[in-house]
Every structure is written in C-alpha cells, then in structure tokens.
Structure 1
Amino acid sequence: MALQDINPLGVKLYVLLIVSLVLVWIFSMLRAYAKLIVLKKVSLDDGLMLVSVLIFSTHASISIWGITYASMEAHVDHAQSHYIALYTWFISEVLYAPLSALIRTSIAVFLLRIPPARAYRFIIYANILVVWILCVAYFFLLVFQCNPPSHFYMQVLGQPGSCIAPETIPCATIVHSILSALTDFTLASLPIAIMWNLRLKRRTKIVIAAILGMGFLQVDPCFSMPDRGC
C-alpha cells in the first residue's frame, strides 16, 4: 500500500507521527550523551523522561499501525479494518494520560533541582499533585468509557455492551487540556522567576530562563486524537 492510499487527514497524522518519533529520539540521544558521557550523572528526571520516550514511541507506533491498516479497507475485511482502527485508537488514548503525567513530572522534578525558594517548591509540588490527580481520573475515564472496556473496539465485531454518552470524552478531553495547559504555563514560567533572583548578569539570566522556559513550546500529544474535542 502506498502512502497516497491513506486519506488526507491520515497522511498528515502519519507524517506528523513519523517526524515526531525521529525528533524525539534525536534529542533523547543527545540528552543521553550529555548526561552519560559529558556529565557522567543521571538523575530522577532523566529516568522519568526515558520512560516517557518509550511510552510515546509505543503510542506513536500503534497509531501509525492503525492509520496504515485502517486505510487498507479495499484489501482487507471491512469489519476487521474497523476493529484494528478502533483498537489502536483505544490503546493510544489510554497511553496518552500516563504519558502526559510523566512528561510534566519530569520537568517539575528537574526544576526542583535548581533549587528554588520554598514558595516555588510548594508551587511545583502542587502542580505535580494536580497533574497526577487529573491524569489518573482521565485515564480511568478512558479505560472504562465502555462496559466492558473491550466493547469500544469489539462492537464492530458484534460484542454486546454499552458506552457512556458520546459527548463525555470530548468534554473531559477539553477540561484535561485546559488544566494541563495551566500547569504547563506555571512550570514554564517558574524558571524565569527563579533565575531573576540569582546573582547573575542580566544577559545570562535571560538566556538561562529562556532555555528552561522551553516548556511553553510543548506540543500536547492530544494531536493524535482529533475527534476527541482537541
């Protein structure tokens, strides 16, 4: 099957996932080289980020498989194609919640190493707590949106069951995205406040704060769930 056999939206998502995978692993290898070879020191945030990379790689790979297989309707059984599409969609959704929490926790743990004042540490710990409460609730909502959970992807094969109201997940996704954006904004803003109180040249402060504040550029993995209200 050629790439042009996939529908236009599928092509965009397919390419975006491939590019994201390549970039994630390039930057991960650079980080690993810096920590293992140059600094010879590994910390908790490195471990959390490594787990995040592995989960994202699984998430992206499953999504790519689903896009490719679901686009082969002319070559495979129609029901089987829809089953694979829904199955990969379900797994990708479920992986998104822990992936989101681990990435944000890794950033928060890194900021705790700076070390900030007590007020800043309280804000960071509060953000970690909010992120995990939010993500755990969202995770269980995604897993148990149907009864039994497998009904989400087995319904096209005739499995009996039921699902919650169709608008529930999109609304929950919007709430999750808004609250996640607020925690991202908080964590990305903290380095600026932390650096400003250090005894460094203003130019040095600006450069370091800009680098640490790159969290403003974080792309939410929700891009792979376009029909969920994102």
Structure 2
Amino acid sequence: MLDPPDGAGRTLRDISIAFLVLTWLIVILRMSVRISRKCVGADDWCMVGGLVLFSVVCTTTIMSAYNGIGAYDNQTSAETKQEGRKWFFLFQVFYCATTVPIKSSICIMLIRLTPFAIYRYILYGVIIFSTLSAFATIVGILALCTPVARTWNVNLPGHCGPPEVLTRLGYFISASCIVSDWSCAIMPIFILWNSQMRWLMKISVGVVLALGVLYVHLCIFEYPEPVCTDTFSVSDRASTGNLVRFQYVIAYENTTNYYYGIAFIAIWSIVESGTGIIAGSAPALAPLIKHIPIIGRGFIITPEGGQQATKRRWRLQHITNTFPSRSKTEDQSRPQATESQSGQTMMTSGNSNRAAG
C-alpha cells in the first residue's frame, strides 16, 4: 500500500475527494430547496441514488490510488498491484451503475418541462438506452474472467478473456454516454423554442438547463497529456475523434505501466459523473439565486408565464417544482382573473347606463 500516492495516483485521489465533497454539498442544497418548497420528485430521488453510487465510486478510486493505481510498474509490489486491481474492478462496476440514475434524473426533469409527446418519448428512450447500455457493460465486465476473482488475482485457476474485450466495453459505454449526454444537452433548445416566454427569459432558462453541455464537453475535448504513447499511435488518436475517454480506454491493452495508464480512465470518469450530478442539480438551485444581489433579483419563471408574467418577477417553477400540479398558481390566478373581468363588466355596464341617461 502506497502512502501517500504519487503522480497520477495522487491526482486521482485529490479529484475524487474534491468531487465527493462538492457533489454532497450540491445535492444537500438541492434537497433542502425541494423539501422547503414541498415539491420533491422522482428526479430528486434519482439524483440522490446517483450520489450514493458516486460516493461508492469515489471510495473505490481513492482506495485504488492508495494501492498502486497511477503508479509505474517499478514502484509497486505484486501484492499492492493485486489489491489495486481489485479496487479498480469495483470502480468499473459501480461507475457503470452510477450513470443510470444521474441520466435518469436529468431526463425526468426535462420530461416535466416539455408539453410535446415526441420529446417525452425521446427522453424516455434515453433513459432506457442508458440503462441497457450500463447493464450490458456490467455483465461484460463480470463475465470477463471465470471465476470473477481471477480479474485481480491471476494465480487463481480459471481463465480470462483477452484485454481487447475490456477495451471494446470501454468504447461501448463511452459512446453510449456521449449519445445520451448530447440528447439531454440539446433538448432544452427544442423545449424552449416554442414556449411562451420573452427571449431574455428563454436565454436565462436555457443557460441553466444547458449546463449539461459542459458535462458533455468533458467527454469530448482532448486531455492534453498523452498517456499511452506505447500503444496509442497518431492514427489511433485521429480515429477516436479526440474523445477523452476513448483516448485512455486503450490503456486496458497496455503491457507496461498498466496501472499508470488506467488511472486516467478513472480520473475522467470521476470528473464526468461528478459534473453530471452538479449540472443536473443546478436548475433545482434556482430559488437560491434570488438571494444573490442583482443576479437573483426576481429570477423565477412560470410555465404559464409568457406575456402574462410580470416584468420584474420571473418564475422558474417548471424547473424548481415538480410540474406544479398545475396547482396553486393556476388556482390562485383564476379567481383573480374572474374578479378582474367581473369588475370590468360592471364598469362597462355602469358607463353604458350613464351614457343612456
């Protein structure tokens, strides 16, 4: 056991701790807002489930860092490598499981926002697609070695599939994540396009909802430091389209410094999942913005908003509430509208009588 980890292992440990603390803080704030507004929904519980699984993932990566993951071959003993590989195996399984509730939470939130059935069907499809992709990858990881313990202990009798299988599984789950992430990132454009809001409102809400674009870009832009130069050629890099995870998944096939190479897979998995939790929770924190001077001045928007919404008070109840049971907002507004209309009728009839007189 290395104490403390160095190099890539230390980076893995520090990033895991940082995102673990930050995601817990964000989700606690999210649930506090939801509970105070009495609008806790399925998307909130999915995100809580995602946070619990993400906490397990961070635990496995921290333990991996303390057991040789991120170190060069000549820096660790055989026993340390075996223990590190066991923790990394657990990381692979729980990371795949974590993607499901995080993406489901974001999709459920968007489902509540859209009045169009076609968009809802697409989002339901994203949930199903993400779930099946994660399940298939987990099954593939578990079936790679027989018995499973031979994944980290090569001295056990049994057999394992070639490392190329693990690489293909890594490509598969990465591609699945990118497809589902982009679907969630661009969906707010279509949802807001035909909504009854002024353009300034649409831009404000769109910025909050499209935080997922940041989440997606973490999977797309190339990390500047090449890790697997012994097996990753320039043509390979071009064929992957500079996708971060794709760049490092090839480390599963490394024959030297294997534990150093796979550390970067874990690092970017932590960054991706952690950012997903933060971006997916950001819209629910909108009520807290009103306490920020200038920025939060009346920043809230009603689903019925449009031209009927007051100019100085935007209501973000699409996002911050479970689709407001068409509830109190409508129930309170209708009687007022009725009284206003009746008052106008009385005034009109009174004026008519005076004119006749």
| CA RMSD between the two structures | 2.4
The residue matched to 2:113 in structure 1 has which SS? coil
Kept in 2: contact 1:192–1:210 (CA 8 A): no
In structure 2, distance between residues paired with 1:122 and 1:2: 50
- Whole-Å separation in 2 of the counterparts to 1:67 and 1:15: 10
Distance 2:94 2:88 in 1: 10
Structure 1 residue 228 displacement after superposition = 4.3
Identity of aligned residues (%): 25
SS of equivalent to 2:210? helix
Residue 193 (structure 1) aligns with? 190
- Inter-partner Cα distance in structure 2 for 1:99 and 1:110: 18
**Mapped partners of 2:132, 2:24: distance in 1:** 29
The aligned residue for residue 277 of structure 2 is none
Amino acid across the alignment from 1:108: C
Distance 1:61 1:185, change over 3 A: same
CA–CA separation in structure 1 for the residues paired with 2:68 and 2:61: 10
Q: Could you tell me how far 1:112 is from its partner in structure 2? A: 1.1
Once residues 133 and 58 of structure 1 are traced to their aligned partners in structure 2, the CA distance between those partners, rounded to angstroms, is: 21
CA drift at 1:116: 3.1
Distance apart, 1:10 and its partner CA: 0.7
Could you tell me how far 1:2 is from its partner in structure 2? 5.2
CA distance in structure 1 between the aligned counterparts of 2:118 and 2:64, rounded to whole angstroms: 46
| CA distance in 1 between partners of 2:67 and 2:202 (Å) | 50
Partner of 1:20: 19
Count residues with an aligned counterpart.
221
Relative to its length, the structure with more helix (as a share) is 1
Name the SS of the counterpart of 1:69 in structure 2. coil
Q: Aligned with 1:198: secondary structure?
A: coil
- Distance of 1:100 and 1:196 partners within structure 2: 28
Distance 1:40 1:80 in 2: 52
Indicate whether 1:88 and 2:87 are aligned: yes
- Structure 1 or 2, whichever has the larger Rg, is 2
User: Counterpart in 2 of 1:175?
Assistant: 172
- Residue in structure 2 matched with residue 55 of structure 1 by the alignment: 53
Residue 10 of structure 1 corresponds to 9
Residue 193 of structure 1 aligns to a residue whose secondary structure is helix
Amino acid at match of 2:50: S
Task: Give the gaps of 5 or more residues in structure 2.
Answer: 220-244, 254-264, 266-357
- State the alpha-carbon separation in 2 of the partners of residues 228 and 117 from structure 1: 43
1:181 and 1:33 map into 2 onto residues whose CA distance is 31
| Superposed displacement of residue 94, structure 1 | 0.6
Structure with more contact order per residue of length (Cα contacts < 8 Å, sep ≥ 6) = 2
AA matched with 1:64: I
Alignment check: 8 A CA contact 2:97 2:134 kept = yes
- For residues 28 and 121 of structure 2, the distance between their equivalents in structure 1, rounded to whole angstroms, comes to 32
Q: Is the 8 A contact 2:3 2:66 kept in 1?
A: no
Q: In the aligned structure 2, how far is the partner of 1:62 from the partner of 1:179?
A: 23
- How far apart in 2 are the matches of 1:228 and 1:174? 11
Contact persistence 2:61–2:91 (CA under 8 A): yes
CA contact (8 A) 2:23 2:51 kept: yes
- Bigger shift: residues 92-101 or 175-184: 175-184
1:165 corresponds in structure 2 to 162
Residue by residue over 1:91-141, the C-alpha shift from the partner in whole angstroms, topping out at 9 and shown as x without a partner, is: 000101110111111111111111330110111111112111211111100
- Are the aligned partners of 1:45 and 1:110 in contact in 2 as well (CA < 8 Å)? yes
Asked if the contact 2:107–2:123 (Cα under 8 Å) also holds between the matched residues in 1, the reply is: yes
Q: Distance in 2 between matches of 1:81 and 1:228?
A: 18
Taking structure 1 as the reference length, the TM-score comes to: 0.87
What runs of 5+ residues in structure 1 fail to find an aligned partner? none
The 8 Å contact of residues 105 and 128 in structure 1, kept in 2 or not, is answered as yes
User: 1:162: how far off?
Assistant: 1.2
The residue type paired with residue 147 of structure 1 is: T
Match of 1:40 in 2: 38
Distance 1:145-1:47 versus aligned 2 partners, 3 A rule: same
Give TM-score scaled by structure 2 length: 0.58
CA–CA separation in structure 2 for the residues paired with 1:149 and 1:201: 57
